[in-house]
Structure 1
Amino acid sequence: MPGDIHARLAALPAFPTLTGARVRLREPRTDDIDGLFALFADPRVMRYWSSAPMRSRMQAEGKVEEMREAFERRESLDWVVADRRDDLAIGSCTLFRFDARHRRAEIGYALRSALWGRGLASDAVAMALDWGFRTLGLHRIEADIDPRNEASRALLLRLGFSSEGVLRERFFVGDQATDSELFGLLAQEWHGRRR
């Protein structure tokens, strides 16, 4: 059902917390700085990112502040992915670039490399997708990845996304031009898989 996405975002009384069997998506906190620094300073995590790895803890402090301010402006939802057992930050999952007219947004995600291969990123992304489609009334969610990132590609395909093409040399990471592969998922495809 169509609705004003910006009005729905503005009406949120607080940062939404989503809880699954193994992970929680919650608001960023000051005590997440070290966990987020470990995440975004890891060259393995950042290998296919559109920016270089963090080099100082101050960058992680700034990241937490940016995440909070983006929510205050309702420009993005930058969830911290936390382990349900100890609530420590192990990743991030973001809905951003909201387009109210076309009921569209983008999703991004990252997970500590020591935890890869356990399905935790899939769990986190699935919760964010479900929330975006059901709560915000999004019609389409897009993801944009480096096509060499086979693990991310497999995650998106597993969740029902379709590859919609490669944009050649779209980003520079340092001095290297990299391609970008666009994926899309429609609300009816998501709901059809969840029945």
Structure 2
Amino acid sequence: MKTKLPIPSGTLRPTLSGDAGNILGLLQEKNVRRFLCDDKVLTRAEVADIVTEGERLDAKGMGYWVIEHAQKGFAGIVGLTPVSAEASVSPKMTNGVEPTIAVLPDMCGRGLASEAMDAIIDYARSTLGLSRLVAAVDKPNTRSHRLMLRSGFSQKGTAPGPAHLLVLYECDLQSLSSEP
């Protein structure tokens, strides 16, 4: 079961069904959906399904957390989910666990994504006992590439994606220091 995770600017807390409206607004933001949703505008029902899937993963200690900024409140989401069959674009991704992150555009540039990623990586290593994380990032998504590299991920190749070429990353959690 997931727990709250502290970050310097606030808290990561497990998502609840009542968060669907905020998550819908986040995922409908043009600069968020461009890469995370391959520019598809998700419906309320699709977002409710995402929240439900996150709740289902809770028993495995995975799913989604709301990024709550101490002063501003809802700032985004971060998650750990098994790589789906559709996202297994390469054998390097198969059977992996992938972090997902989305921050409201007006909250970007404050270090929240790095704080959330550091907390999720530490949680994946120390609580879940995972030895690696994988990620697939749309090639034009420069912010996410910088985040992956700052967080200890290394590039492992490319693969075609639904909208863009994907850059594949892996993070060897055993080689990372336990200090963020």
- Report the TM-score, using the length of structure 2 for normalisation: 0.82
Match of 1:156 in 2: 148
Q: Which amino acid aligns with 2:8?
A: A
Residues 103, 131 of structure 1: alpha-carbon distance in 2 compared, 3 angstrom cutoff:
farther
Query: Can you give the 5+ residue segments of structure 2 that lack an aligned partner in the other structure?
Result: 84-93
CA distance in 2, matches of 1:166, 1:108: 18
Give 4+ residue runs of structure 1 displaced > 6 Å after superposition: none
The C-alpha deviation readout for 1:122-146, integer Å capped at 9, x for no partner, is: 1001100001011111111111101
Equivalent of 2:48 in 43, 61, 69: 61
Q: Whole-Å Cα distance in 1 between the matches of residues 176 and 40 of structure 2?
A: 33
Report the TM-score, using the length of structure 1 for normalisation: 0.76
Q: Percent identity?
A: 25
Q: Given the alignment, which residue of 11, 20, 29 partners 1:42?
A: 29
2-structure distance, mates of 1:27, 1:96? 13
Does 2:68 align with 1:82?
yes
Q: Which residue of 1 is the match for residue 17 of structure 2?
A: 30
Q: Is the 8 A contact 2:63 2:81 kept in 1?
A: yes
Give the distance between the partners of 2:129 and 2:75, measured in 1 at CA. 28
> Number of residues paired by the alignment?
170
Q: What secondary structure does 2:128 align onto? A: coil
2:15 is paired with a residue whose SS is coil
Q: Is residue 2:102 matched to residue 1:115?
A: no
Shift of 1:120: 0.4
Pair member with larger Rg: 1
Q: Equivalent residue of 2:139, what SS?
A: coil
Task: Note the alpha carbon deviations across 1:20-39, whole angstroms, 9 max, x for none.
Answer: 12131111123322211111
Equivalent residues of 2:132, 2:174 under 8 A apart:
no
Q: Which residue of 1 aligns with 2:137?
A: 145
Q: Runs of 5+ in structure 1 lacking a partner? A: 1-13
- The one-letter amino acid of 1:84's match is A
2:162 match: 172
Once the two structures are superposed, what CA deviation does each residue of 1:85-104 show, in whole Å capped at 9, x if it has no partner? 35x33211111217xxx995
Letter in 2 for 1:28: T
Q: 1:55 to 1:165 in 2, by over 3 A?
A: closer
CA contact (8 A) 1:18 1:25 kept: yes
- C-alpha offsets along residues 5-50 of structure 1, whole Å, 9 cap, x if unaligned? xxxxxxxxx4221011213111112332221111100111111125
